[in-house]
Structure 1
Amino acid sequence: MKKIVLPLVFITLFSCTGLQQIANQIPELSSATGAGQTQIANGLKEALKQGVDKQVSKLTKTDGFFGNPLVKIGLPPELEKVEKGLRTAGLGNLADEGIKALNRAAEDAVKEATPIFINAITSMTIADASNILMGNKNAATQYLEKNTSTSLYTKFNPVIKQSFNKVGADKIWKNLINNYNTLPMVKKVNPDLTDYVTKEALNGVFMMIEKEELNIRNNVSARSTDVLKSVFALQDKK
């Protein structure tokens, strides 16, 4: 899966021991171990919220998907023949309109579903964080993807379906598929585009989060708070 990232990355740094070590190294948090761990956990959640808002919000704007080559949704493999057939028949404008409609549905759906996504992130506990060790550059994103993909799909799918209706993608694709199916010598198609776009929208969200995670891990200037600076200074030493 293409793959989100942000201060989320914090979480990858901590085992229970890791939280204690960080608390000891951050003076303002070291007065009480429990309080320090709680503040660190809260700081990580806030960082995740900011990261999601920064990167995922870009996807909700017009052309957020369609204009971003990293996450632009193209046709599923089984429909590539549809695009080729339509363009060969001089109906390339229909193919273009269909692809744009898929991306518009994703942009609209992510806008509605972002609060759900944020809730999934902020529900992470200290116990969750303690299971993530310093690892790969996208370890936090991988953890988040592994633990939220199923529930996020369940939430995103009906929103995508509603968005198809809202942006008119259902009518565009009905017209597109009907036109294709009338072409001579073609095998009729009837793809589940809601499922496809749901998965692609999730892929795009995770990819943008990973982008932010890598930015924070690699660029000191991207660490906008004292907590971020302190935590990632430890990572830099590994």
Structure 2
Amino acid sequence: MFTRIASALLVAGLLAASAPAAHAQTTAAKKAAAAKAAAAKTAAAKAAATKAAAAKAAAAKAATTKAPAPVAAPVAPLTEAQASAGVKEALNKGIVKAVQFASEPDGFNLNDDIHIPVPPDLEIVKSTVGRLPGMSLVFTQLETQLNRAAEAAAPKAKDIFLNALANISITDALTLVTSSSTDAATQFLRKSTQQQLIMAFHPDIETAIDQVGAGRAYATVTDKYNKIPLMTPVNLSLADYTTQKAVDGLFILLANEEAKIRKNPAARTSDILKSVFGR
């Protein structure tokens, strides 16, 4: 009996002694685990911060570094056939517009670029007899009538222009397209058509001058002047003067249209014009 009691007390004592030690071991384990977790969390935060900083630096570098410009695809050389089609279409477009504009009422008269003034030879007459009663009005009417004559003759230019246009060679067309001059094609056309236009215009303008009364106005002016003593008589051909001015005016209008196509993309209204003149 005594032996059993002693054994029980011994066991109880051992248990009581081991409990604080076990508790201490458990606490230490918990602290170690917490410390380990905290260290891992700190390491993860540090890694994340490092990664974010690296990403920010990369973004900043990318923002300050210009992307290389894209390399444009090489443009195929302009063929002679394309040049010919482009020049002919550009001139055809210009011819239609120029003739249409010049043929309209006041197409010459109210356009500062092509308005036909009183012939220079009549300026001295104007300064001398222009102060006489009614003569100022006569000069004004004469000038208007010269422009009316040019407007009446202008439609005849269209067929002459278009016939010459059909005969432009492929080689000439390529030269005209690549020219740096904004009216190269117009000047080329002028060389081949100017005399034809003068011959075609002259009879019509001569007739128109008589019909609109310019001949009578001219006779009134010159008769007054030629009767002044010691003055050199004036005998100017109004038809010659007006014909040349009318032809000059048409080429001015045509050159303006050509320049628009060469300079202004909006004026290139077809694929061939864009392809030929948009280079």
Distance 1:177 1:95 in 2: 11
- Name 1:103's counterpart in structure 2: 147
Over alpha carbons, which structure has the higher Rg? 2
Distance 1:167 1:112 in 2: 18
Q: Residues 210 and 122 (structure 1 numbering): CA distance in 2 closer, same or farther, change over 3 Å? A: same
Deviations 1:40-88 (A, max 9, x none): 6345434322211112311111111111111111122211112222322
Whether the 8 Å CA contact 2:91–2:165 is kept in 1: the answer is yes
State the 1:98 CA deviation.
Answer: 0.8
Higher relative contact order (CA 8 A, sep 6+): 1
Instruction: State how 1:43-54 maps to structure 2 within 5 Å.
Output: 44-54=87-97
State the 1:97 CA deviation.
Answer: 0.8
- SS across alignment from 1:88: coil
Deviations 1:176-229 (A, max 9, x none): 322332345533211011111111111101111111111111110010001000
Selected match of 1:74 from 103, 117, 137: 117
Tell me the amino acid that sits aligned with residue 191 of structure 2: K
Selected match of 1:58 from 101, 106, 121: 101
Distance 2:216 2:170 in 1: 47
| Structure 1 unaligned residues grouped into runs of 5+ | 1-19, 24-35
| Structure 2 unaligned residues grouped into runs of 5+ | 1-75
- Name 1:227's counterpart in structure 2: 272
Distance 2:90 2:259 in 1: 14
How many aligned residue pairs are there?
202
State the 1:22 CA deviation.
Answer: 2.4
Selected match of 2:127 from 75, 84, 89: 84
- SS across alignment from 1:54: helix
Whether the 8 Å CA contact 1:48–1:122 is kept in 2: the answer is no
Selected match of 2:165 from 105, 121, 124: 121
Selected match of 1:187 from 215, 232, 237: 232
Distance 1:43 1:233 in 2: 11
Deviates more, 1:198-207 or 1:120-129: 120-129
Question: What is the Cα-based RMSD across aligned positions, in Å?
Answer: 2.2
Tell me the amino acid that sits aligned with residue 94 of structure 1: V
Distance 1:121 1:165 in 2: 33
- Name 2:212's counterpart in structure 1: 167
- Name 1:10's counterpart in structure 2: none
Q: Residues 140 and 47 (structure 1 numbering): CA distance in 2 closer, same or farther, change over 3 Å? A: closer
Whether the 8 Å CA contact 1:22–1:231 is kept in 2: the answer is yes
Whether the 8 Å CA contact 1:86–1:94 is kept in 2: the answer is no
Deviates more, 1:137-146 or 1:89-98: 137-146
Distance 2:267 2:83 in 1: 18
Runs of 4+ with deviation above 6 angstroms = none
Deviations 1:135-181 (A, max 9, x none): 32222222122222222222222222222233232223223322332
TM-score w.r.t. the length of structure 2 is 0.65
Selected match of 2:248 from 203, 209, 217: 203
Q: Residues 85 and 117 (structure 1 numbering): CA distance in 2 closer, same or farther, change over 3 Å? A: farther
Q: Residues 40 and 140 (structure 1 numbering): CA distance in 2 closer, same or farther, change over 3 Å? A: closer
- In the alignment, is residue 21 of structure 1 matched against residue 74 of structure 2? no
- Name 2:203's counterpart in structure 1: 158
Identity of aligned residues (%): 36
Tell me the amino acid that sits aligned with residue 206 of structure 2: K
Selected match of 2:179 from 121, 125, 134: 134
State the 1:121 CA deviation.
Answer: 2.6
